[in-house]
Amino acid sequence: MDELISLFMMTAVYVDYENHSRIEDIILTHPEDLNGGQHYYLEIGRGMIRYYLKHYDEALAHYVIATTKAYDTGDANFIADANRYMGIIYRKLNDLDQASYYIEKSVSALKDVDSKLLYATVYLTCGVILVDTGELEHGIRVYKKAYEYFNTVKDAKRHVNYVILLFNMFDVFDSLDKADMAHQYFDEIRLILNTGDFPVYNPMMLRAESRMLKRQGLYEQALSALEKFLKAEVQTPKYTAGYYKNEIKQVFDQIAVLKDKNRSLNSRLTLMYDSMDTSLDHMDYEFEKRLDQALDQEGIYPHFQLKWSVEQNKYIGAEALIRWQDKDKMIPPSDFIHEAEKSDLIIRLSELIIHKSLKFCKDVVTSGLNDFKVSVNISPYQLANQDLAKYIRNELLFFNLEGSHLKIEITERSFLEQNPKILEELYVLKEMGIKIALDDFGTGYSSLSCVTNFPIDVIKIDRSLINNIEDDMKSRKLLAGIIRMMKELDLEIVAEGVENEKQVAILKQFGCDVIQGYYYAKPDKHESVKNNLTSYKK
């Protein structure tokens, strides 16, 4: 049960709703088996996931039960933590009196707590509420306390609440117009977020970015960031009446300032007000329209990142990474793949990528690199809803290429739904000689079972497992273990996101087959990559 509960909490932290509800179901089949602490974690987890989904009333109901369970155990850690969650939720519900009431209880329970991390998180929440109630100076003092505590904890920088603290410190210094301090925290945030992909922080980052841009007088860009922030953040109109009203008003106040400075923004602003008033569907529609146009006008195309074979000591293939050039800015895949997956746009989009990737591959093969392979990322939605194998078969025929020239990269998400169509499609692709790689290995929790249960040929070890191997003994050991184990299963091992020579040396020593990352090559356009390859050959 303990393992189940920690899995459950992990899915809550990663806002992994589908798995969370599945595990929740399993746990709830025997609630009588739960001990006090487990019961507490169960209710906190159930509350958290609903909180992230912005179902605040439901979240509150679970936190209330959790609080009762916490008092039942008599454990000060639980009591402090539960009251902290109560403070958080009442703040979201815009009831600062209640929020203060609970956070005081939480702080007073701390005297019997010895976890620095818990101290830090309680102080963080306390600071947030003080700042909200207008006690800025006091709030900042408490934030600094939290900052100190976090910094005494090992790996605190990986902790969600540490990043949230930094955002809050940025916020308060920014609103006090203390640019230097704001900048300092912004830089620290950026440094942490650069170490991986953390979608949870996207809205906060967008808002912070827009404020930074505004400071630099880049009003046009500031506005774009705000638009994205609103789109990401304002999804439940019900709560715009409460907590979000203040948030949105702040943002609109910022826009009002922008508006004064730059008259040409007027029409976009009107559009934003309108879309806020009606609903967000409108914005989604705008997005689809833009993406649709981009697809028509060659605004979407792949870049290619070369892969290095350790054994053959040369480039043996490349991964196609989608790019969207929207007017003068480049929109990263993380900002639109997920949206595109909500409609059939993902199918048009991926057909285009497959076509252009095979074209690239053909071009390289024709120039003399006979074994060259191209890898394409495929989302679960495509496997489930597209006649992918059929499309690929035709494309291979069109370019007169064997299936062995193509690889597809999928993530464990493809297996979570246990959709028979997906498996069927994968087996057909495999029959065609196409190799299947499991991407982002090590980021989810079912990577290992995927490898044994599904038709996987290659594993791509995620950057997060690589990026500090040169400094950290434990990470090195973990990596060595993974590679050894996967070799045992006859899988090809690709390391991704490799950035420096030390990492390369370690990976070679551990027996990694293929290395991909900025150290060897950055993703680039068809022509540049091909030219690189041909000049390299000489």
Residue 497 in the binding site for ligand C2E (CB under 6 A): yes
Q: In whole angstroms, give the CA distance from residue 233 to residue 244.
A: 9
| Candidate residues 333, 368, 455, 481; the one interacting with ligand C2E per rule CB under 6 A | 333
CB nearer ligand C2E, residue 407 or residue 463: 463
Helical pair 76-92 and 56-73, crossing angle rounded to 10 deg? 160
Residue 382 in the binding site for Ca ion (CB under 5 A): no
Closest Cα to residue 115, out of 123, 103, 125? 123
CB nearer ligand C2E, residue 124 or residue 388: 388
The CB-of-317 to ligand C2E minimum distance in angstroms stands at 14
Identity of residue 360: F
Percent helix, strand and coil across the chain, each to the nearest 5: 70, 10, 20
Q: In whole angstroms, give the CA distance from residue 89 to residue 66.
A: 13
**How far is Cα of residue 354 from the mean position of the Cα atoms in its chain?**
24
Q: x/- contact string, 397-436, with ligand C2E (CB under 6 A)?
A: ------------x---------------------------
Identity of residue 440: D
Question: How many C-beta atoms lie closer than 10 Å to residue 484's C-beta?
Answer: 11
CB burial readout 200-236, b (16+ within 10 A) else e: ebbbbbbbbbbbbbbeeeebebbbbbbbbbbbbbbee
Going by the DSSP 8-state scheme, the letter that residue 443 receives in this structure is: T
Give the interface segment with ligand C2E, choosing from 45-53, 233-241, 282-290, 375-383 (CB under 6 A).
Answer: 375-383
Evaluate whether 74 touches 35 at the Cβ level (below 8 Å).
Answer: no
Closest Cα to residue 208, out of 236, 240, 233? 233
Give the interface segment with ligand C2E, choosing from 181-189, 285-293, 376-384, 391-399 (CB under 6 A).
Answer: 376-384
Give the interface segment with ligand C2E, choosing from 42-50, 244-252, 328-336, 447-455 (CB under 6 A).
Answer: 328-336
Residue 227 in the binding site for Ca ion (CB under 5 A): no
For the segment 454-473, give every residue that binds ligand C2E (CB under 6 A): 463
Q: In whole angstroms, give the CA distance from residue 310 to residue 132.
A: 55
CB nearer Ca ion, residue 227 or residue 440: 440
Going by the DSSP 8-state scheme, the letter that residue 309 receives in this structure is: E
> Residue for token digits 């019961």?
39
| Candidate residues 268, 499, 511, 532; the one interacting with ligand C2E per rule CB under 6 A | 499
| Candidate residues 439, 441, 447, 510; the one interacting with Ca ion per rule CB under 5 A | 439
Closest Cα to residue 62, out of 80, 82, 77? 82
CB nearer ligand C2E, residue 405 or residue 463: 463
Evaluate whether 223 touches 213 at the Cβ level (below 8 Å).
Answer: no
Coil, strand or helix: which one is 415? helix
Give the interface segment with Ca ion, choosing from 232-240, 284-292, 375-383, 418-426 (CB under 5 A).
Answer: 375-383
CB nearer Ca ion, residue 46 or residue 307: 307
The CB-of-465 to ligand C2E minimum distance in angstroms stands at 12
| Candidate residues 11, 379, 414, 447; the one interacting with ligand C2E per rule CB under 6 A | 379
Residue 305 in the binding site for Ca ion (CB under 5 A): no
Residue 377 in the binding site for Ca ion (CB under 5 A): yes
The site partner of 523 among ligand C2E, Ca ion, none (C-beta below 5 to 8 Å per kind) is ligand C2E
The site partner of 379 among ligand C2E, Ca ion, none (C-beta below 5 to 8 Å per kind) is ligand C2E
CB nearer ligand C2E, residue 171 or residue 439: 439
Residue 440 in the binding site for ligand C2E (CB under 6 A): yes
| Candidate residues 227, 412, 440, 492; the one interacting with Ca ion per rule CB under 5 A | 440
Give the interface segment with ligand C2E, choosing from 15-23, 32-40, 253-261, 492-500 (CB under 6 A).
Answer: 492-500
For the segment 273-312, give every residue that binds ligand C2E (CB under 6 A): 305
The CB-of-147 to ligand C2E minimum distance in angstroms stands at 27
The site partner of 305 among ligand C2E, Ca ion, none (C-beta below 5 to 8 Å per kind) is ligand C2E
The site partner of 174 among ligand C2E, Ca ion, none (C-beta below 5 to 8 Å per kind) is none
The CB-of-333 to Ca ion minimum distance in angstroms stands at 10
Q: In whole angstroms, give the CA distance from residue 165 to residue 230.
A: 21
For the segment 403-432, give every residue that binds Ca ion (CB under 5 A): 409
Evaluate whether 426 touches 446 at the Cβ level (below 8 Å).
Answer: no
> Residue for token digits 């906190």?
44
C-alpha dihedral over 186, 190, 192, 196, to 10 degrees? 150
Evaluate whether 434 touches 403 at the Cβ level (below 8 Å).
Answer: yes
CB nearer Ca ion, residue 81 or residue 409: 409
CA of 414: how far to CAs of 20, 228, 387, 438, 441, in Å? 16, 28, 16, 10, 13
Q: In whole angstroms, give the CA distance from residue 477 to residue 474.
A: 5
Evaluate whether 416 touches 446 at the Cβ level (below 8 Å).
Answer: yes
Give the interface segment with ligand C2E, choosing from 17-25, 146-154, 169-177, 373-381 (CB under 6 A).
Answer: 373-381
| Candidate residues 321, 384, 416, 451; the one interacting with ligand C2E per rule CB under 6 A | 321
Interface residue list for Ca ion (CB under 5 A): 377, 409, 439-440
Interface residue list for ligand C2E (CB under 6 A): 305, 320-322, 332-334, 337, 350, 353, 377-379, 409, 439-440, 463, 496-499, 517-518, 523
